[in-house]
Structure 1
Amino acid sequence: MKTIIHKKDTRGFANHGWLQANHSFSFAGWFNPERIHFGALRVLNDDIIAPKMGFGTHPHDNMEIITIPLKGVLKHRDNMHDVWEEVLPGEVQVMSAGTGVQHSEINGSNNEYLSLFQIWVIPKVRDVTPRYGQKSFKVDDRKGKLQTLVTSIKDADTTSLKIHQDVKISRIDLEEGETFNYNLKSKDHGVYVMNISGTYNLADTKLSSRDAVGISETDSFTIKTIETTELLFIEVPMISL
C-alpha cells in the first residue's frame, strides 16, 4: 500500500478577506510541483466565504465539479438555468462543465459564514454537453456505514449523483473506537481521504481534523477511530497528467 500524507498545515492558503481558502492541490496563486493532482482528482478546496460574498460569473470547461456545503447556504446560478439554486448542508451539487459553462456562486446568508468543499475531477471524456445535478443525503444514512454521493454516469447505482469519470465519492460518520474497512473498486484506483473532523489511525499514522491521505496500490485499507470522526472518500482512477 502506498500512502501520501497531507497534513492540514501543509495546504496552500489564501486570505482574500471575504474568502479564506485552503488548497490541497496547486490552485490559483499557490503552486507546489509535488501537489498537482492525485490521479484524476485535480482540486480539493476547503473554503470559508463571508456573508453575502462569493464568486462572480466565471467560465469552466472540461472539468467535473462537485460542491459539498458543510455549513451555511450556498447559492448557485449558471447559464444552463439562469436561476439561483440553494445548496444546503446535507446536499451535494455536481456540474459537468464539458464544452463550457458560465456560473456564479455566493454565500446566500446575510450573517452566517459559508463553509464548503469544492472538488474538481478530470473527466474521462471531453467536450460533453454541460449538465447540472443536485441531491440531498440523509445524515443517518452515513452513521457507521458508507454513503455514496457521486459515481460514474455509466455506473448502475441510482442513488448517487453522476459525473463523467469512474469515481466513487462517499462519506461516513464513525463513533469513537470504531473500525472501518474500505474496499477499492480496483487496483488502478486510489482514494484521497479528507478528515472532515475527528481523529483516527491508518496503520501507524494518526490523522486529525482536515488532515488528508492519498492511498493507492492496494485493494483495501482499515481505519480505526480515536474519537468521533467524519470522513470524505474521493476514489479516482490513478491517471497521469
Structure 2
Amino acid sequence: MTITIRRASSLGETKLGDAALRCHFSFRDALDGRHVHDGRLRVVNAGVLPEGGAFALGPEENIDILTWCGHGDLSATVEGFEPQTLEAGSLHAVSTASGVSKLVWASEAGATFLQFWFLPDLEGGEPTQETRPAFPALEDGAFRVLASGFPEDNSEDGEIVRDGAPVPLRGNARLLHADIRAGEGAAYGTRPDRDLYLVVVAGTVSLGATALSAGDAAAIAGVTEIIVMATATACVFLTDTSAT
C-alpha cells in the first residue's frame, strides 16, 4: 500500500475567468511536474466563484467533466445542450467526446464547487450532458456512487434514470461521495491495481494513522479496502480509476 498526502497548502493556484481555483494536478498556468494526474483522473479543482461570476472552458474533447456544487448556485451552459441549474449538492456531467467548443459555469449569488476530469477509455462519439440533484435522503454515511463507468452501477434502461442513479462515465472509473458523522466511518472496497484519490471537502478524517483536514487529499494505491473515519463531521469525495 502507498499513500501520498496532498496538503491544502501545497496545491496549485490559478484564476480562470472569475473563478479562483485550487488545483490538485497541473492545470493551465498552475504547473506541477510532480502531480500531473492520478491514473485516469486528470483534474481535481476546488473553485470559488464570486456573486455574478463566471468561467469558461473550451474547446474540449475526449474528457468527462464532472462539477459538484458545494455552496450557492451554479448555472451550466454547454454548446449543443439546454442550460442547467445546480443547487448545493447537485452534480453536472459533460462527456465532451468528439468535441464541445465552449462550456460556461456562472453563479448569481456566488458558489463553491469541485470539478473532476476523467480520461475516457475510448475516444470520440457524441457529447452528452446529465445533471443530478442532491439526494440527501440516500446518504447514510456510506460512500455513494455519483458517477461510474462500471456496467453494474448503471441502469440498463438507457432512457430511464432512477432516483440517485450514477451519471455514466466513458471510462472504467467511479466518483463517490460520503457525508460521515463524527466518530463514524465509511468503507470502500476495490482492487490493488486501482488508483484511489480521496478529497476532504469539510471536517477532519483519519486514514489509518494519517489525519486529513478540509482541503487535503490522499492518493492511495495497492489496497483492497480503505476505511475513512471522521474525527469531526466530514464531507469527502473518492475517485477510483485504472492506473494507466
TM-score, with length taken from structure 2: 0.90
**Which residue does the alignment assign to 2:83?**
84
Find out whether 1:150 has 2:147 as its counterpart: yes
How far has the Cα of 1:90 moved from its partner?
2.1
How far has the Cα of 1:142 moved from its partner?
1.9
Deviations 1:41-66 (A, max 9, x none): 00000010122221246311011111
3-state SS in 1 of match to 2:58: strand
Distance 1:190 1:153, change over 3 A: closer
Out of 198, 207, 215, the residue aligned to residue 212 of structure 2 is: 207
Q: Distance in 2 between matches of 1:150 and 1:120?
A: 12
Q: Distance in 2 between matches of 1:198 and 1:131?
A: 34
Find out whether 1:42 has 2:42 as its counterpart: yes
Out of 190, 194, 199, the residue aligned to residue 199 of structure 2 is: 194
3-state SS in 1 of match to 2:9: helix
Q: Distance in 2 between matches of 1:116 and 1:56?
A: 14
Q: Distance in 2 between matches of 1:222 and 1:156?
A: 21
**Which residue does the alignment assign to 1:108?**
107
Q: Distance in 2 between matches of 1:14 and 1:156?
A: 35
Q: Distance in 1 between matches of 2:57 and 2:234?
A: 36
User: Residues 17 and 56 of structure 2 are in contact (CA less than 8 Å); yes or no, is this contact kept in structure 1?
Assistant: no
Distance 1:103 1:17, change over 3 A: closer
User: Residues 193 and 242 of structure 2 are in contact (CA less than 8 Å); yes or no, is this contact kept in structure 1?
Assistant: yes
Out of 116, 119, 127, the residue aligned to residue 119 of structure 1 is: 116
3-state SS in 2 of match to 1:140: helix
Find out whether 1:164 has 2:163 as its counterpart: no
**Which residue does the alignment assign to 1:238?**
243
3-state SS in 2 of match to 1:38: coil
**Which residue does the alignment assign to 1:180?**
186
User: Residues 172 and 231 of structure 1 are in contact (CA less than 8 Å); yes or no, is this contact kept in structure 2?
Assistant: yes
User: Residues 52 and 106 of structure 1 are in contact (CA less than 8 Å); yes or no, is this contact kept in structure 2?
Assistant: no
**Which residue does the alignment assign to 1:97?**
96
CA RMSD of aligned residues (A): 1.7
**Which residue does the alignment assign to 2:130?**
133
- The percent identity for this pair of structures is 20
Gaps of at least 5 residues in structure 1 are none
Deviates more, 1:153-162 or 1:119-128: 153-162
Deviates more, 1:15-24 or 1:167-176: 15-24
Q: Distance in 2 between matches of 1:127 and 1:108?
A: 31
Gaps of at least 5 residues in structure 2 are 156-164
Deviations 1:24-80 (A, max 9, x none): 000000111110000000000001012222124631101111111111221111222
User: Residues 74 and 105 of structure 1 are in contact (CA less than 8 Å); yes or no, is this contact kept in structure 2?
Assistant: no
Deviations 1:119-164 (A, max 9, x none): 1111100112111111123123223122110011644433111010
Q: Distance in 2 between matches of 1:229 and 1:85?
A: 28
